[in-house]
Amino acid sequence: MSKHNDPVEARSGLQPWKVADLPQPPHAKGLSLLAVIGPGAIVLGASIGSGEWLLGPATFIKYGLGLLWLTSVAVFLQTVLNTELIRYTLYTGEPAVTGFMRTKPHSTFWAWFYAGLYLLQTGWPAWAANAAGAIFFLVAGKLATRDDATSVYWIGCGAFLVCVVILVFSGKRIERTLEILNWIMIVLILGTLFLLCFLFAAPRSWLGAFVGLVGFDLNAGRFNFLPPDADWLLIGAFVGFSGLGGAGNLMVSNWARDKGFGMGQVVGFIPAAVGGQKVKLAHSGSVFKISETSLRSWRGWWRIVWYDQWGVFFIGGLLGMMLPAILYTSALEPGKDIRGLAIAAELASAMAARGGAALTLALAMMSVWVLFKTQLDLLEGMVRGITDILWSGSTRIREWRGGDVRLVYYSVLAAALVWGLIALRLTQPIVLLQLGANMAGVVMVVSSLHILYINMKFLPKELQPPLWRRVALIFMSIFYGFFVYLWLMGGLVPDRGKGFLFSLLRYVGLG
């Protein structure tokens, strides 16, 4: 049979979908909704530990709170993207990247393409490395300097190894373990930050943050959408990791599948190595026929997705950026560049004079927890995403050792561990973080258009996104593409001294 006679979803090399009934959504209202949502909490928890905790404060201290408008736009667009990624998973039970692999030119091309993007963005264990700076501060009682780089490196290695151990011993469902840890983090971290801002930040700082959401710089008394002579590596990283960003957003559909959203209940999930059991994970999705009954169930599932993303991720994403911004800009002098080995401990050190040793200790421990949890989430998401790519795209891998997906997952995890320990030695942790964050912008330029394409191509007309969502996804690609250009070129007018692309060409001897 020729490819032209294959079902449309099978023409790039993957197996066609099966047909099954759409499971009934759980009937949950009020606080009981917390038991049925979850992916939104994971992506929110992961987002707080990179852009919100490090890159956002570094940006606001240097350029002011007026740049919070970038967070408003980024979090809105990412919430639209997240819900569209989950839309595909609700219908097929597949992660969205598997859907990407169902498009031309071939599944293998997209498998390598997205696996490469995962590695370039989240393959650097930058969060464990930055957490090491806060751990060093707790142990040594001082901010780390260049002379302490070796100590910080070994602490970062230890933190990264602990993340791996947790994923090995994470109970029946890895996704459920992450969900619980992130709910704890969201409540404790955002609650603590709100209290600290209430106690130590002046009303003007609060006002500056709120008007900054629309681009108004209170100190300058005018709208200030982009600073002149900006450090575009920093600005691009800040935009990339406002919200979660890039590969982190793509992971939401994997977590939605393992949570059992929609047809995710039909295809199975990835269990833990220790404490889990062998679970049949389908390598190809299952879809449902359109009927009054299935559409009623679809609307019930979509309601859960709405609460999960708009109620948890969107609102939490704005608060997660605003509260650290208020606290950092209240404690540190404007214009200071805090990017260094000690960035994760700068707030704790600065608050020592105002809150004493107890507050300093609490903030340093909070910094360790936030960054460690983010490293755990993104490591797991990267390994999960690459596992799903391999599982869907290779018959040989699916048949390896009796078809147990855990063997694939933990083999990928082992490879990520080896690479991570090497990557920690390459450069300063904050540089790794900025590179990964800017790569997130590249991922969103491509993935926003790709999810729009597959949702319009593969989903029945009744389930396709409305016009405003299609426009939002196109605008998202343009928005992030603009900052990718600024980062690569060094400004609107290409600058060979500032553009990352020119620096890269010089590094390989072509500049």
pLDDT at 318: 93
Most confidently modeled range among 3-7, 85-89, 167-171, 409-413: 85-89
Residue 1 pLDDT > 70: no
pLDDT at 511: 60
Average pLDDT over residues 61-70: 94
Residue 191, in any domain of the structure: yes
Q: Which helix (H) or strand (E) holds 114?
A: helix 107-122
Look at residue 217 and give its three-state secondary structure: strand
Confidence of residue 78 (pLDDT cuts 50, 70, 90): very high
Between CA 211 and CA 490 the distance in angstroms is 28
Residue 358, in any domain of the structure: no
Look at residue 216 and give its three-state secondary structure: strand
Percent of the chain with pLDDT over 70: 91
pLDDT at 175: 58
Residue 477, in any domain of the structure: yes
pLDDT in tens, 170-191: 655 555 677 777 777 778 888 8
pLDDT at 326: 94
Average pLDDT over residues 188-203: 89
Residue 122, in any domain of the structure: no
Between CA 167 and CA 165 the distance in angstroms is 5
Residue 156, in any domain of the structure: no
Residue 421, in any domain of the structure: no
pTM, full prediction: 0.88
What six digits make up the tokens of 145?
Answer: 């300097």
Q: Which helix (H) or strand (E) holds 100?
A: helix 96-100
Classify residue 19 by its DSSP letter: E
Mean pLDDT over all residues of the chain? 86
Look at residue 222 and give its three-state secondary structure: strand
Residue 426 pLDDT > 60: yes
pLDDT at 75: 95
Residue 281 pLDDT > 70: no
Between CA 209 and CA 329 the distance in angstroms is 10
Residue ranges making up the domain that contains 66: 3-112+170-326+429-507
Residue 484, in any domain of the structure: yes
Residue 105 pLDDT > 70: yes
E-strand stretches of 147-189: none
HSE (CB half, 13 Å, CA atoms) of 405?
Answer: 26
Confidence of residue 238 (pLDDT cuts 50, 70, 90): very high
Burial 187-210 (b: 16+ CB within 10 A, else e): eebbeebeebbeebbeeebbebbe
Residues 6+ apart with CB under 8 A from 19: 286, 287, 288, 289
- Structurally, the chain folds into a number of domains equal to 1
CB atoms within 10 A of CB 475: 14
pLDDT at 294: 96
90 in Cβ contact with 298 (< 8 Å): yes
pLDDT in tens, 347-393: 888 888 777 888 888 888 888 888 888 888 888 888 888 888 887 77
Residue 64, in any domain of the structure: yes
Residue 214 φ/ψ, nearest 5 degrees: -110, 10
Average pLDDT over residues 144-171: 87
